């Protein structure tokens, strides 16, 4: 079955959902129906049933998800309910109505002990409960009979919601000095570019040839260098000091080296992924322009 671009987008009020809304006008041939949690709660089968019975869909872009990494350590049931049970509910209707699913997972399914970038077929080994919830969601969807693909992304940032870029901008206005860890390595993902990539390719017959794609911007960095670049672009005089993970304890453990290898998606979909520095500049420009999307 070839999927036509008539998609239900769950979690439309979240950071990733807003990224899809921001670029929707660039894809006029795609019919995108955005829903928020009040309209469609993926953890409740009944609300999902009403939604799927209300109109025909060709597929689902699941932007709904629990993303509070530290809080997940203390409220794993909630994380699991959304990231696993919610995804199970979506897959039930996808199988019944022969729909395609695009889902999103995380670099945190890996333990970060590999010094080489993680490929799609590398074995996950989460070290925190958020990572476990995303991995369990992956396993569930992998068993589904419907066409599906999961994008593993890392260090998501955008002009919307809560994310590292917006946190650094906020802290730099409130403090003279901020401290950021310098020993965790990864590849930031710009939500706007991710949304464009998905919407540019969902109607291609071979889009679902793989169950997993890694997607992140080109180039590896640390949280410290990422923060330093943000302040440099903004010409912000706030001082930034580096520290180790041990000096900055958090409830959830973080992988030290969760760099994703993106060669599969680059080759298969003929992508030229921008650098994280380029994407960051464009993100900050959107924030400066205060675009109301």
The residues assigned a catalytic role are 130
Say how far residue 200 (Cα) sits from the centre of its chain: 17
Is residue 170 within 8 Å of 251, Cβ to Cβ?
no
Count of beta carbons in the 10 Å neighbourhood of residue 174: 8
Residue 61 φ/ψ, nearest 5 degrees? -105, 105
CA dist., res. 152 & res. 121, Å (int): 12
CB 281 within 8 A of CB 149: no
Strands 100-106 and 156-157: unpaired
- Residue 179 burial class via C-beta count within 10 angstroms: exposed 0-12, middle 13-18, buried 19 and up: middle
Terminal CA-CA length for the chain = 33
Burial pattern 231-270, b for ≥16 Cβ within 10 A else e, equals: beeeeeebebebeeeeebeeebbbbbbbbbbbebbbeebe
């Amino acid at each position: 079955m070839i999927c036509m671009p008539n998609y239900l987008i769950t979690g439309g009020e979240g950071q990733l959902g807003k990224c899809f809304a921001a670029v929707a006008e660039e894809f006029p041939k795609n019919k995108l129906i955005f829903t928020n949690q009040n309209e469609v709660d993926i953890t409740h089968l009944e609300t999902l049933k009403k939604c799927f019975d209300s109109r025909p869909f060709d597929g689902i872009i699941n932007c709904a998800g629990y993303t509070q990494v530290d809080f997940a350590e203390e409220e794993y049931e909630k994380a699991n309910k959304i990231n696993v049970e919610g995804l199970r509910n979506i897959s039930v209707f996808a199988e019944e109505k022969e729909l395609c699913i695009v889902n999103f997972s995380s670099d945190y399914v890996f333990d970060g002990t590999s010094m080489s970038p993680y490929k799609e077929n590398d074995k996950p080994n989460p070290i925190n409960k958020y990572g476990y919830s995303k991995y369990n969601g992956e396993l569930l969807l992998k068993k589904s009979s419907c066409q599906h693909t999961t994008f593993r992304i890392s260090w998501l940032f955008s002009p919307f919601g809560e994310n590292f870029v917006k946190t650094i901008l906020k802290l730099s206005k409130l403090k003279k000095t901020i401290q950021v860890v310098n020993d965790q390595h990864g590849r930031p993902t710009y939500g706007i570019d991710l949304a464009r990539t998905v919407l540019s390719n969902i109607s291609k017959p071979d889009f679902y040839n793989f169950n997993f794609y890694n997607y992140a911007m080109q180039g590896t960095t640390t949280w410290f260098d990422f923060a330093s670049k943000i302040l440099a672009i903004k010409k912000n005089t706030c001082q930034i000091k580096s520290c180790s993970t041990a000096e900055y304890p958090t409830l959830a453990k973080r992988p030290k080296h969760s760099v994703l290898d993106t060669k599969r998606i680059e080759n298969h979909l003929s992508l030229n992924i921008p650098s994280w520095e380029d994407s960051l500049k464009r993100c900050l420009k959107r924030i400066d322009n205060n675009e109301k999307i």
